[in-house]
Homo-oligomer: A and B are copies of this chain.
Amino acid sequence: MDSGKHSEATTVTKPETKDKGKAVTWAAPLSGYSVSTKAVPHPRPGWKKGVAITDFILRLGAIGAALGSAVTMGTNEEILPFFTQFLQFHAQWTDFPMFQFFVVANGVIGGYMILALPFSYVCIIRPHTIGPRLGLMIVDIVMMGVATGAASSATAIVYLSHNGSRDANWIAICQGYTNFCQTSSEAVVLSFVAAISLMCLVPLSALALKRT
């Protein structure tokens, strides 16, 4: 931005300086940001690179959390060691549509985050690039919504499993299915970690987009 200002100033004052009869070589400023002269110092903001690296690391964390929660929940199953003639006591994640959504959503988020890594890497190499940054940011926001939604609806089920609802006459199933509930809770916590990572990624992208 500073370089932009100075190059503009140079263009405007051009007629006046010419009158002094000195031969000055002027580079045509194709864009306001690409021109640098030796007379004007050119402070290159290093913090944008820092932001891009933080972005990349947060993405790695979010991949681990999202895929971890999807796998944890997707393998969540418990068979109780007693059964009646007609009934085997068996709980698994497919019993609840919210848990199904949870697994699919976290799988999709993990997959997207892996695909987004190259773009994030481009932003490290070229901290001033706008296109990939803006694209990543918009998809990040949508994914953040999906992650929060999946984690919250699963949390509601985990809560009901633990405590039941006396008013609705829903019994707490966790007294029986201890491991199932434990694993579900872990998956939900991991999913919230992914959601919060995504929540941090969005303002980081905004900072990188901001004019300095």
Contact = CB atoms under 8 A, between A and B. Distances in A.
Contacts of A195: 145
B173 A141 contact: no
A150 interface: yes
A154 B120 CA distance: 35
A148 B191 CA distance: 14
Main secondary structure of the interface of A (DSSP, over half): helix
Interface in A145-168: 145, 148-157, 159-161, 165, 167-168
A88 B41 CA distance: 80
Contacts of A96: 165, 167-168
A41 B50 CA distance: 36
B95 A168 contact: yes
Nearest to A130: B210
A97 B159 contact: yes
A176 B209 CA distance: 53
Contacts of A38: none
Contact of A141 (B40, B138, B159, B203): B203
Contact of A211 (B11, B130, B151): B130
Contact of A98 (B13, B156, B170, B202): B156
Interface residues of A, number: 55
Interface in A166-212: 167-171, 173, 195, 199, 202-203, 205-207, 209-211
Interface string A127-155: 00010001001100110110011111111
26 contacts: A4-B5, A5-B5, A6-B8, A8-B8, A12-B40, A91-B168, A96-B165, A96-B167, A98-B159, A130-B210, A134-B206, A138-B203, A138-B206, A145-B199, A148-B152, A152-B152, A153-B153, A153-B156, A156-B156, A168-B170, A168-B171, A169-B173, A170-B170, A170-B171, A206-B206, A209-B210
